[in-house]
Structure 1
Amino acid sequence: MGVLYLLFLLASIGCMALLDHRFKLFFFAGAPLRAALVLAAGLAFFLVWDLFGIGLDIFYRGETQFMLGLELAPHLPVEEAFFLAFLCYLTMVLFGLLKVAATHFGRTRSGQAVKR
């Protein structure tokens, strides 16, 4: 049962990838290298954020039977990296969805109507 949280995170990432593939929102929008760099930058930012929070005793590792018990650093469980990757991926997929919706409903980024 210690792997349950990680499995749910992986399933969530997989579902996000399916949505991304179906609607071409982030990785499948035509620039996978750029998407990977954006995702890696977001993941790195939030991991550093977590490390600072842990160092300042703001964040700590909660004990639960649903986690593996492996840590990347003290008080930084391995599941945190997958959660942060999911969070960044979700954000970029939602951003892609907003771009698609704006195009569909006839608005550009500047708020101007799209000429059809």
Structure 2
Amino acid sequence: MDGRISTEEFKQAVKNTCVGKKYEEFPQAMKAFIEANFKMIDTNGDGVVNKHEFCYNCITRIAVDNVQVVYDAFDSLLNDDDRRRGGITLSRYQELYAQYLGNLDEKQPGVYLFGPLNTD
């Protein structure tokens, strides 16, 4: 033991604490991380992550040849309420993050939380 958490140990911990659970059931440290991540993406601080903020966050992390794939990923996250308000609120982000971590269904919107699945 070197006192460090390996990638496999981290993945197992996330699986044990998040898969099949709602956001409210996540450990407090995970909730704090998710909320801090939302605030980092919401660059104008209005409480809603819009398409441009989402795009900026994605293109600083992944290479894309065409920004449209990022816009399409954002659109895939949205429900009707999100479309009306022009983006994703913290509570919706929490819901999507819970889907991303806790729902093994690859067809749910949360799979696009960090951008397009395929950047080709």
Do both share a fold (TM > 0.5)? no
Per the normalisation by structure 2, the TM-score is 0.28
The higher radius of gyration belongs to 1
- Give the structure-1-normalised TM-score: 0.28
Which is richer in helix? 1
